[in-house]
Amino acid sequence: MEYDIFFVPKDLTQPTYTGAFISVCCCVFMLFLFLSELTGFIATEIVNELYVDDPDKDSGGKIDVSLNISLPNLHCDLVGLDIQDEMGRHEVGHIDNSMKVPLNNGHGCRFEAEFSINKVPGNFHVSTHSATAQPQSPDMTHIIHKLAFGEKLQVQHVQGAFNALGGANRLQSNALASHDYILKIVPTVYEDLGGKQRFSYQYTVANKEYVAYSHTGRIIPAIWFRYDLSPITVKYTERRQPFYRFITTICAIIGGTFTVAGIIDSCIFTASEAWKKIQIGKMS
């Protein structure tokens, strides 16, 4: 004897193969929907929004910068970092938290630096300006391994231009050319489920190459990073579906599946009984 899952008084039921088949299908369907909802409840959703504000007000008006660049044809003694901005800062040969690693048997240099900039338009550039003696033909061809601002964000499902210049290769450029990278920096906030916020910065970039001459007529190339800040802040927030909504959805799945399955079973049974009556009428 076969039974289906529609539990009603026994004297009002009539077990059928159709009812059993529909019952099994309903169980499989409900299990699939339950697992789908459970996966959605466990998973974390990341919502993004835009607003106008300075999110990191406790930074003292500073932005941390991380720069890693290789100049394979310029000696480390000649490489320097200069910083200037619209607040009057003008620093030539910045050396704090910086490191130079010789490349190509000392003919090249890998320059790494950690420093901060003010939250106003300005620039920082890698050049030979701080060298005690200027070279005759400085070669500024380079590879940028990393240029990032603010805290490092490694969050799954968050795609952004946090290191837009990473991998930029200018080894085939004119050796005496200056390089201008024009950056638009966008403040970015990431807030996890616990409410903890991390502050980083994305940026867009445009670039150009040109040959620059000094007032003496000499060519003194440099690698310029000219930046400006966007007033728009991007915020990513981790969210999870509330438990009450999960329970409500599960109840709706169970109730809705039983109701629809009951209607389908009833229609099939009624049609089957009517067909049997028609066949009996023809035989008689």
Of 183, 175, 90, the residue nearest 141 (C-alpha): 175
Single-letter amino acid code for the residue at 31? L
Greatest Cα-to-Cα distance within the chain, rounded to the nearest angstrom: 119
Element (H, E) at 248: helix 243-283
Q: Residue 235 in 3-state DSSP?
A: strand
Q: Do 77 and 116 meet the contact criterion of CB atoms below 8 Å apart?
A: no
pLDDT along the chain (284 residues), means of 10: 48 59 77 75 72 77 95 94 94 92 95 95 94 87 96 76 93 93 94 85 94 80 95 86 74 77 76 74 64
H helices, E strands: number in the chain:
2, 13
Single-letter amino acid code for the residue at 85? D
How far lies 186's CA from each of 1, 47, 123, 222, in Å?
70, 17, 16, 25
What is the rounded distance in angstroms from the CA atom of residue 262 to the CA atom of residue 254?
12
* Burial call 91-115: b when 16+ CB within 10 Å, e when fewer: eeeeeeebebeebeeeebbbbbbeb
Question: Which residues, in sequence order, are CB contacts of 182 under 8 Å at separation 6+?
Answer: 205, 206, 207, 208, 226, 227
Q: Do 59 and 80 meet the contact criterion of CB atoms below 8 Å apart?
A: no
How far lies 220's CA from each of 6, 134, 164, 165, 239, in Å?
86, 9, 26, 23, 52
Of 103, 99, 112, the residue nearest 72 (C-alpha): 103
- Structure tokens belonging to residue 67: 């720069």
Q: Tell me, what's the pLDDT at 172?
A: 94
Q: Tell me, what's the pLDDT at 209?
A: 94
Element (H, E) at 24: helix 17-42
Classify residue 78 by its DSSP letter: G
**Residue positions counted in the chain:** 284
Q: Tell me, what's the pLDDT at 13?
A: 52
Give φ, ψ of 98 to 5 degrees. Answer: -125, 160
Element (H, E) at 111: strand 108-118
Of 49, 171, 65, the residue nearest 116 (C-alpha): 65
